[in-house]
Amino acid sequence: MRVGNPPELAKARALPLHAPLRADVPVPSAEPAPPLLGAPVPRPEQGHPAVAFVDDGALTPFVQLAVALRRAGYRTVRVTTARRSIGSAFTRRFAFDRLCHVDASEIEALDLLLADEALVDVHCVEGLAPSAYRALDRLPGAPRAGWRNRGDLVDKANMVRLLRSAGIAHPDTLPGTADPAEAARTLGLPVVVKPRVGAFGRGVFMARSVEELEHQLASVPRQDTQLEAYVEGVPVNYCAVVGAGAERDMTYRTLRRGGGPCSPSSAIECYRDDALSEIGRRLAAVLPCEGFVNVDAIKDARGRYFVHDVNLRVWGALFAAWSAGYDLTGAYLRWLSDQVRRGVGDRSRVAFVFPDSATAAILANRRRPDLRTVCRQLRAYRQLLGLGYAVRELAGLVRGFVLGPRAPRSQARGASTSPPPPERSGALGTGPA
C-alpha cells in the first residue's frame, strides 16, 4: 500500500502517488519544503547520520526504535529530563550511542547540545516537543523537512484545525475556557477533558456531569485544555511513513489497553480497512511534515470514523505490528536513507573501501598508516556491521602490520610441493634428442 497524495502536492513534496483524493476536499496551503529533504552532508567528524530521542522518562517505543536504528547503522542520541539511574545507564549501552541528562529548561538550547550531530530525524514526547522542535529549527542547514511543523501540530487545537480544513470528521471540540454548562449543552455528556499537549492518556478526564466538569476545569490550566465530545465505538488506528520513501501504511484495531480506558494499547489486531486508509491518506497528503504518523480514530455503531488524535512519532504498537507481518520499520529506514542521499545531492564524494584501503596503507613498504583515518573507518563499519566484525578486522590489520603480508595458502603449497616440469624429448624436436 502507498500513501496517497494529490498530484500537485506530491510533486511539491516528493511524495509517492497513489489513488487521487476527492477533488472537493480542501487542501490547506503549506510552505513548500526545502529543496533538500534530509540531512546536511555528514562531515567526517560527525560520524554517521543520527536520530535523536527527546523524552521525560524511559519510553519503550523509543528504545525499541533506537535498537533497530543502531542495527541499521544509524547513530542514536537520547536527550532526557529524567533522573539518572542504573536502568538508563544500562539502556544506553545497547540502545543509544550518546545519552544526555538535561533540565527541562535546557531543552530550549537543544540546538547547541546537538550542533555536532548529523540529525536526520527527531522523536519527542509531546510535553517537550514544542520547545525541542523550536530549538532544532535554529540549526544552520538542519534537515527541516522531516520535523518541520511537528512542534505546532502537537497542539491538539492546531491539529483539529488541520483536520477540519481537510474535511476529515472529528469529535466536536471547545476550548477549555468555555463555560462548563454551555459546553455540556453543546457537546453533550460525557465531556472528555484533555490537555492540548499530551500523550499516553495523561491528564485525560471524562466528566459525566456539569459538576464534574466544573471541578476538573478548576484543577487544570484552562487555556491549555481542550473539551471534546465523547464518541462511543471501537478504537482504530491508521499508521504510515509520510514523505519520500513512504511506501507502506497499515490499519489496526485495539483489543486491550493497559490500566485505564485511555492507556496505550496492550493488544492489537492488524487488518485491512480501506475506508480508514482513505482517511489516513487524505491526512497524510496535507501534513506539512514527514516521517511517522499514527492516527487515532473511533468507529461508531453506524460505521463512521472520527479522528480524535494524531501522533507524529514512533508509537508503542509499531513493533507489535511488525511481529504480525505488517512492517513499517523498513519503510522508515528507506525514508531515512533517502534523506541522507538527498542531502548529499549530485556532488561527487570520495569513499575508502574498508579494510582494503587500510590494508594497502599498512602493507605498502611497511609504512605506518594514518591512524585517524583507519580509526574513523573502523568506527563507521563497527556502527554498521557490529562490534564483532570490527574486532575481527582490527586483529587482521594488527597482524598485517606486525608480520607483514601473508602469502595465499594455495601459493605456498604450490611452491613447496609441486615438482619441476620434466624435460620433453621426441621426434617433434621440442627437447634434446
Instruction: For residue 386, give the 3-state DSSP assignment.
Output: coil
101 phi/psi in degrees, rounded to 5: -95, 125
Residue 45's pLDDT is: 40
| Whole-number average pLDDT of the chain | 79
Q: How far is CA 320 from CA 276, 324, 431, in A?
A: 20, 7, 79
CB contact set of 103 (below 8 Å; sequence gap of 6+): 81
More confident residue, 315 or 23: 315
Residue 27's pLDDT is: 38
Around 406, how many Cα atoms within 13 Å sit in the side-chain half-sphere? 12
Q: How far apart are CA 335 and CA 284, in angstroms?
A: 15
Question: Which one, of 367, 371, 293, 361, lies nearest residue 332 by Cα?
Answer: 293
Alpha-carbon torsion (310, 316, 320, 326), positive or negative:
positive
By the 10 Å C-beta count (0-12 exposed, 13-18 middle, 19+ buried), 38 is classed as: buried
Which residue has 595458502 as its cell numbers?
409
Residues in the chain: 433
**Strand-by-strand arrangement of the 98-101 sheet:** 98-101, 75-80, 50-55, 119-124
Alpha-carbon torsion (6, 311, 317, 253), positive or negative:
negative
Region of poorest pLDDT, from 48-57, 139-148, 323-332, 356-365: 356-365
Q: How far apart are CA 396 and CA 358, in angstroms?
A: 11
Which residue has 611452491 as its cell numbers?
415
More confident residue, 389 or 300: 300
Which residue has 454548562 as its cell numbers?
181
Q: Which residues of 308-344 are buried (b: 16+ CB within 10 A; e: fewer)?
A: bbbbbbbbbbbbbbbeeebbbbebbbebbbbbbebbe
Cell triple for 154: 502537537
Q: How far apart are CA 314 and CA 294, in angstroms?
A: 8
Q: Is 70 exceeded by the pLDDT of residue 18?
A: no
What DSSP state is assigned to residue 384?
H
pTM of the entire predicted model: 0.75
Which residue has 602469502 as its cell numbers?
407
pLDDT tens-digit profile of 400-418? 666 665 555 555 555 555 5
Residue 325's pLDDT is: 86
Confidence of residue 32 (pLDDT cuts 50, 70, 90): very low
Question: Which one, of 169, 237, 236, 181, lies nearest residue 209 by Cα?
Answer: 181
Q: How far apart are CA 249 and CA 335, in angstroms?
A: 13
Q: How far apart are CA 367 and CA 358, in angstroms?
A: 11
Q: How far is CA 256 from CA 199, 261, 268, in A?
A: 18, 9, 7
Q: Is 60 exceeded by the pLDDT of residue 143?
A: no
How many CB atoms sit inside 10 A of residue 350's CB? 4
For residues 343-349, average pLDDT: 62
pLDDT tens-digit profile of 71-101? 898 999 999 999 999 988 888 889 999 999 9
Q: Is 50 exceeded by the pLDDT of residue 19?
A: no
Cell triple for 220: 487544570
pLDDT tens-digit profile of 274-303? 999 999 999 999 999 999 999 999 999 999
Do residues 60 and 123 make contact, with C-beta atoms less than 8 angstroms apart? no
Q: Is 60 exceeded by the pLDDT of residue 122?
A: yes
Which residue has 554498521 as its cell numbers?
384
What DSSP state is assigned to residue 78?
E
More confident residue, 370 or 37: 370
Q: Which domains does the chain have, with CATH numbers?
A: 1-36+234-347 (3.30.470.20), 39-142 (3.40.50.80), 172-229 (3.30.1490.20), 356-410 (no CATH)
Q: How far is CA 180 from CA 184, 196, 217, 221, 232, in A?
A: 6, 17, 8, 14, 21
Do residues 283 and 239 make contact, with C-beta atoms less than 8 angstroms apart? no
Q: How far apart are CA 210 and CA 281, in angstroms?
A: 38
Rg (CA), the chain: 29
Of the chain, the percentage scoring pLDDT greater than 70 comes to 69
The secondary element (H helix, E strand) that includes residue 271 is strand 265-271
Confidence of residue 341 (pLDDT cuts 50, 70, 90): confident
pLDDT tens-digit profile of 291-339? 999 999 999 999 999 999 999 999 989 988 888 888 899 899 999 988 7
By the 10 Å C-beta count (0-12 exposed, 13-18 middle, 19+ buried), 23 is classed as: exposed
Do residues 196 and 129 make contact, with C-beta atoms less than 8 angstroms apart? no
Confidence of residue 30 (pLDDT cuts 50, 70, 90): very low
Q: Is 50 exceeded by the pLDDT of residue 4?
A: no
